[in-house]
Amino acid sequence: MEEVQRMCKLDPAQEIGIAAVVELQAKPELVADARYYVEDGKGEVAIVVHDRWQQKGLGTAMMRYLIEVVRQRGLKQLYMYTLTNNSIMIHVGKKVGFTVNLHEYGVTKLEMNL
């Protein structure tokens, strides 16, 4: 429950969340969510894109936007975790400047110095 409350009540000084919403059949539908949290002076990035909206550039665009916000806020390092078999997310991370720094227990950590 604490995690749900944290995701819904963002502290703008420490985190930002953005959403991609499209209108389908006259009602809005959330198709992607991207956010970062500051922890120990570093930003952790997380992004989720609905399956139907993957590989269309949406995740890349949202990631680039978050990187720019993080730069403006003065953070010097970003990181993210993804499943090692999530080749799409690893590709997006590399495309926007992350490097792969860890493969362990089926999880990959990507990092970026700003």
Domain boundaries, the chain: 2-113
Report field, pTM of the whole predicted structure over 0.85: no
Is the pLDDT score of 2 beyond 80? Answer: no
pLDDT value at 79 more than 50? yes
Structure tokens at 46: 């997380």
Helices and strands (DSSP H and E) totals, the chain: 3, 6
Burial status of residue 20 (CB atoms within 10 A of its CB: 0-12, 13-18, 19 or more): middle
**Mean pLDDT of all residues in the chain?**
86
CATH class as words, domain 2-113: alpha beta
Spatial neighbors of 4 by CB under 8 A, at least 6 apart, are none
